[in-house]
Amino acid sequence: MQPNVLICGMGGNTLPDSVKQDDQPWLAEDYSRIRRFSEQLCAPLAPEDMGLQACPEVSPPRWHLAHTTWFFETFLLSPHLPGYRVFHPEFEVLFNSYYNGIGEQYPRPQRHLLSRPTGEQVLAWRQQVDQAMARLIAARPDLSALITLGLNHEQQHQELLLTDILYSLSFNPLAPALTQPQPITGEPGALTFQTFAGGLVDIGAHAGFAFDNEAPRHRVWLEPYRLANRPVTNGEFRDFIRDGGYRRPELWLSDGWAWVQQHGIQRPLYWHDDLQQHFTLAGRQPLQAGRILAHVNYYEADAYARWAGLRLPTEAEWEHAADQVSVTGHFVDSGTCQPGAASDAPLSHLFGDVWEWTASAYQPYPGFQAANGAVGEYNGKFMCNQMVLRGGSCATSRDHIRASYRNFFYPHLRWQFSGIRLAGDAQ
């Protein structure tokens, strides 16, 4: 939910090797492609959908289009493009998400009340910014690191745009569909485990772009462990429910049980009470047993693992394993926006499909330093009360994810495509 920040210094003055000055042609093209994709994602939306916000944690699609534009105007154009005039002086406050260093923010729960600027005005703003950015990219190769950050930021909001609109639409009894259903076929792949010897391993960013929270790369001691070959499926989680999973306090963390009790929780988000259907971006659909489970929170993931006699992996365990496979999987690029069928291949689905809850609290790596200035607020200030998730989902862009990527959410939240991969101590 909170976008992350580039490792490198934000002033652009300490450009890392990984972002070379001669990558300008690539950058202009990427800028154009990524920015356009934000608008393409809104194509199936009715204008009326563009302002929806069903809870403080989600934002309206129109706000996402505006906030990502605000990023480029605030951090790139205003300080670095001579003669640039902001589109509207009040937008700096209206579309600031949480950067205290920039100044005040419009209250987050009220973003749905910003009917103005209208969608048309936001698109005009995007156009002005994109034209100015084209000039800036050409003129200032030294800013490519910060621009790359802006593009990764936009990709994060593309994922949020999808998860947010799914959440907001779920309150409409008409069950609107934005995409086509994608039924799966066949039985889910068998669940197997692979053992890792552990020892003193290296964890963290080591090449290419990364956010600051992935650094520095550092040593971690791992005891021998084993990891499931694939995430938990809808059918497996339904077994947990039918076995009284939501009624047995001994399976739950104390805060998790309090959450279950207080809200009367009986099933994952978007599941119907018949446990046969769920709400998706393709509208109301049959719940297929072999499909990878999504929309559970940390408490549910932890309870399921305890019920299964296992546990969740730590983020170091996860990353150590993921470092051994390539970044392939089911991403937003496929256009389906739903997790796929569970495979029986070894170490499959680590990337894409669903973010996998780890057992690790989101905390700084040893030696972590936040960047100076407002962009330093990206990650460091959220390192408390949240849990780490790994691997990206069916709503993530393929070129946005990597083994060291750390996503993080509060343990009670469920609106992301978040699922469960089991782990255990080596036997």
Binding site for a second copy (CB under 8 A): 2, 46-52, 54, 62, 90, 93-94, 98, 100-101, 106, 110, 112-119, 168-169, 171-174, 176, 200, 218-221, 223, 249-250, 252-257, 298-299, 302, 359-361, 363-364, 366-367, 377, 381-385, 411, 425
Beta carbon of residue 197, minimum distance to a second copy (angstroms, whole number): 14
Closest to a second copy by CB, 235 or 364: 364
Q: Residue 277: in which H helix or E strand, if any? A: strand 277-280
CA 160 remoteness from chain centre? 7
Interaxial angle between packed helices 119-139 and 144-169, expressed in degrees from 0 to 180 and rounded to the nearest 10: 160
- Measured in whole angstroms, the distance separating CA 38 from the mean position of its chain's CA atoms is 15
CB of 425 to a second copy, least distance (A): 6
Shortest distance, position 261 Cβ to a second copy, whole Å: 10
Q: Which is nearer to a second copy, 80 or 112 (CB)?
A: 112
Tell me the closest approach of the beta carbon of residue 360 to a second copy, in angstroms.
7
Which lies closer to a second copy via its Cβ, residue 259 or residue 417?
259
The minimum distance between CB 180 and a second copy, in angstroms, equals 18
Of 25, 16, 12, residue with least CA distance to 138 = 25
Amino acid letter at 258? Answer: A
Residue 65 has which token pair? Answer: 């289009």
Query: Residue 104 or residue 344: which is nearer to a second copy going by CB?
Result: 104
d(CA 1, CA 254): 25
Q: What DSSP assignment string belongs to 185-240? A: -SPPPPP-EEEE--EEEEES--SS--BGGG-S-EEEEE--EEEESSPPBHHHHHHH
Q: What is the residue whose two structure tokens read 């692979």?
A: 194
Our CB check for a second copy shows the closer of 199 and 346 to be 199
The CB-of-256 to a second copy minimum distance in angstroms stands at 7
User: Smallest gap, in angstroms, from Cβ of residue 172 to a second copy?
Assistant: 6
Residue 304 in contact with residue 240, Cβ under 8 Å?
A: yes
Round to whole Å and give the CA distance between 4 and 333.
Answer: 21
DSSP symbol at 76: I
Whose Cβ is closer to a second copy: residue 209's or residue 270's?
A: 270
Q: Between residues 26 and 171, which has the closer beta carbon with respect to a second copy?
A: 171
